[in-house]
């Protein structure tokens, strides 16, 4: 029973942090002035797909953000966590930069601290203090876009971290400090 209370507290703290993060400035870009921001996400591990509007009339939409957070949950623990809305802005900008509107394939979204620790111990190339645990990261692919091109476009955004993993066939994107690797 105690674990449930701890998880609830973490979830509520996460919601508060995301509310504060939503007030932070975003990278400049003409496409962020779009009146509607919509994405299609497909989770490769669960087979779930969500197409939703997450921004409209100058504000984030809880329903779209909640749908995306559920899709990007930690599947090992079936634990959802609010995903930073700025991550969806980055994905939206990335698609605009690439001229692609299609599906974004999600390899990994939120990871609970327990799952992250397990993967780190197993030597899966997982950072001990991963942004995935904060709901601020995604590992992704875009069908029809070569991985090197996706990596280049993500780095050109100049927003957050970008990791290039050609051996594992994905690009990592997060809302942390601007940096890149791989």
Place of tokens 């994107």: 173
Cα angle value 136/140/145 (rounded, 5°): 140
User: Residues for the chain: how many in total?
Assistant: 182
Q: How far is CA 13 from the centre of its chain?
A: 18
| pTM of this structure | 0.82
Tell which residue, 104, 118, 105, 46, has the closest CA to residue 80: 46
The torsion defined by the Cα of 38, 99, 141 and 91, in degrees rounded to 10, comes to -40
Per-residue pLDDT tens digits of the chain, which is 182 residues long: 445 555 545 554 555 544 444 444 444 344 677 889 999 999 999 999 999 999 999 999 999 999 999 999 999 999 999 999 999 999 999 999 999 989 999 999 999 999 999 998 988 778 888 999 999 999 999 999 999 999 999 999 999 999 999 999 999 999 999 999 99
Q: How far apart are CA 48 and CA 19, in angstroms?
A: 26
Element (DSSP H or E) covering residue 144 = none
């Amino acid at each position: 029973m105690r674990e449930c209370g701890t998880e609830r507290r973490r979830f509520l703290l996460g919601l508060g942090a995301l509310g504060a993060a939503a007030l932070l400035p975003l990278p400049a870009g003409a496409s962020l002035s779009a009146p509607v921001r919509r994405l299609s996400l497909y989770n490769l591990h669960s087979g779930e797909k969500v197409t939703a509007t997450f921004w409209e009339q100058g504000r984030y939409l809880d329903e779209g953000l909640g749908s995306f957070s559920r899709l990007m949950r930690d599947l090992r623990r079936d634990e959802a966590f609010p995903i930073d809305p700025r991550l969806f802005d980055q994905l939206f900008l990335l698609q605009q930069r690439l001229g692609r509107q299609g599906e974004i394939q999600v390899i990994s979204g939120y990871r609970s601290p327990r799952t992250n620790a397990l993967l780190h111990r197993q030597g899966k190339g997982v950072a001990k203090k991963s942004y995935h645990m904060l709901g601020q990261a995604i590992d992704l692919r875009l069908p029809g876009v070569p991985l090197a091109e996706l990596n280049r476009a993500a780095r050109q955004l100049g927003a957050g971290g970008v990791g290039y993993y050609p051996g594992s066939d994905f690009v990592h994107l997060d809302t942390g400090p601007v940096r890149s690797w791989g």
